[in-house]
Every structure is written in structure tokens, then in C-alpha cells.
């Protein structure tokens, strides 16, 4: 419960910083602060989950690079726009962070229930941040501005394949973590509180 309160406060501060210093700098500061935050809160085991989230974000950023053009974004190069990479890394990781808190409190054990809860948590956060970014912070993706957004929230203005991908990436991340967890022998590394395993057997 203590970690859940800490994490919820962190999420609240994230939204406050969005309004105070903008999206780019907020995400950059949080990204740099994640590892020290995990060490201070004695959750170094989650660093591996952060690395997996970063890998997925980089791959997605490379695949959809041409579909991300933000006038406001200053973190970009000719090859990659770091805005979506930071967004997806932090979004995926914050979802798994909150999920682990919930899992430990309620003792959730079955994979199907875990996947449903994580997916719901991720989708809620995704729609919330996209809605706030578009309607309140007025952040516009110039590359996909011509496309219609989702019904009701009018957010995620992008081609249909991108909209579908947005909702698939979260559950995919969760499934990958579970595959890694089940396919390896026990080590000291953990994923959201469950010991990882390694293909290398101890001699």
C-alpha cells in the first residue's frame, strides 16, 4: 500500500509538471529520475522491466517515425523523434509499476486476470494522457492531424493501424514480460515482483 501511494503521488506530480514545464522536459526529467526513484524505494528489480519498455518504445519509434511530427518537440534527430520514445517508455513502465502495486495488495495470481487488469490500467492512462495532451495542453501531431480521433475523447488522431497499435502495445509488453519470466531459470532479477529466470543454468 505504501508503494501504491508513492506511485500515485508520482503520477499526480507528473501531470502537474506537464502544465508547469511542458511535455518534453517533464518526460526527460522523469526518465532520468526513474532509476534513482526505484533504488530509493527499494525496487531495483523493476529496472529490467524499464529496459524492456525502452526497447519496445525504440522499436515503435523507429517503425512509426514518419508519423510523429511535433512543432513543440525539441528532442529529435534526423533518425528518431525522442518524444514518442520517452512517452511510450514511461507510459508502459508506469502502468507496470502501478499494476505491481495492485497485484501485491489484492494477491492476483491468474494470468488472464492480470492481463485484463493491466490492459485496463494501461488503456485508461493512455486515453487520459492523450486527451489532456490534445485538448488541454494543445499538443498536435502535425503528421497525423488530418485523421479523425477516437469517439467521445477525440484523441489519438492517427491512421487506424496506429490507433489499433496504441492499444495493442500495452498488453504486448505485459505478455513479453510474462514470457521472459516463464522461459528462464531463477536469477536475482525480477519482473514486477516475480523472479526472472535465465537460460544459463548455474554450474
The predicted-structure confidence for 149-176, as pLDDT tens digits, reads as follows 999 999 999 999 999 999 999 999 999 9
Q: How far is CA 127 from the centre of its chain?
A: 13
Assess if residue 92 is contained within a domain.
Answer: yes
What are φ and ψ of residue 197, in 5° steps? -130, 155
The pLDDT score that the predictor gives to residue 161 is: 96
Assess if residue 191 is contained within a domain.
Answer: yes
**Residues above pLDDT 70, as percent of the chain:** 85
Q: Which range marks the domain in which residue 152 is found?
A: 2-198
Assess if residue 121 is contained within a domain.
Answer: yes
**Rounded distance, CA 67 to CA 162, Å?**
9
The pLDDT score that the predictor gives to residue 194 is: 45
C-alpha cell at 74: 525539441
Cell numbers 522523469 correspond to 30
Assess if residue 165 is contained within a domain.
Answer: yes
Assess if residue 115 is contained within a domain.
Answer: yes
Whether residue 185 has pLDDT greater than 50: no
Assess if residue 36 is contained within a domain.
Answer: yes
How many Cβ atoms sit within 10 Å of the Cβ of residue 10? 17
Assess if residue 20 is contained within a domain.
Answer: yes
The pLDDT score that the predictor gives to residue 21 is: 81
The pLDDT score that the predictor gives to residue 174 is: 96
Report the domain count for the chain.
1
185 or 5, greater pLDDT? 5
Assess if residue 203 is contained within a domain.
Answer: no
pTM (2 d.p.): 0.83
Amino acid at each position: 500500500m505504501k508503494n501504491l501511494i508513492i506511485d500515485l503521488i508520482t503520477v499526480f506530480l507528473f501531470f502537474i509538471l506537464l502544465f508547469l514545464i511542458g511535455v518534453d522536459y517533464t518526460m526527460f526529467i522523469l526518465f532520468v529520475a526513474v532509476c534513482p526513484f526505484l533504488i530509493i524505494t527499494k525496487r531495483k528489480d523493476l529496472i529490467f522491466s524499464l529496459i524492456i519498455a525502452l526497447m519496445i518504445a525504440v522499436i515503435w519509434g523507429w517503425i512509426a517515425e514518419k508519423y510523429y511530427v511535433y512543432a513543440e518537440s525539441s528532442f529529435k534527430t534526423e533518425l528518431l523523434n525522442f518524444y514518442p520514445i520517452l512517452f511510450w517508455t514511461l507510459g508502459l513502465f508506469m502502468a507496470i509499476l502501478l499494476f505491481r502495486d495492485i497485484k501485491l495488495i489484492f494477491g492476483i495470481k491468474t494470468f488472464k486476470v492480470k492481463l485484463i487488469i493491466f490492459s485496463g490500467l494501461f488503456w485508461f492512462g493512455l486515453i487520459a494522457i492523450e486527451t489532456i495532451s490534445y485538448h488541454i495542453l494543445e499538443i498536435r501531431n502535425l503528421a497525423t492531424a488530418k485523421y479523425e480521433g477516437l469517439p467521445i475523447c477525440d484523441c489519438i488522431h492517427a491512421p487506424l493501424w496506429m490507433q489499433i497499435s496504441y492499444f495493442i502495445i500495452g498488453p504486448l509488453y505485459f505478455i513479453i514480460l510474462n514470457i521472459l519470466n516463464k522461459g528462464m531459470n531463477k536469477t536475482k532479477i525480477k519482473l514486477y515482483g516475480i523472479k526472472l529466470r535465465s537460460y544459463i543454468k548455474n554450474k
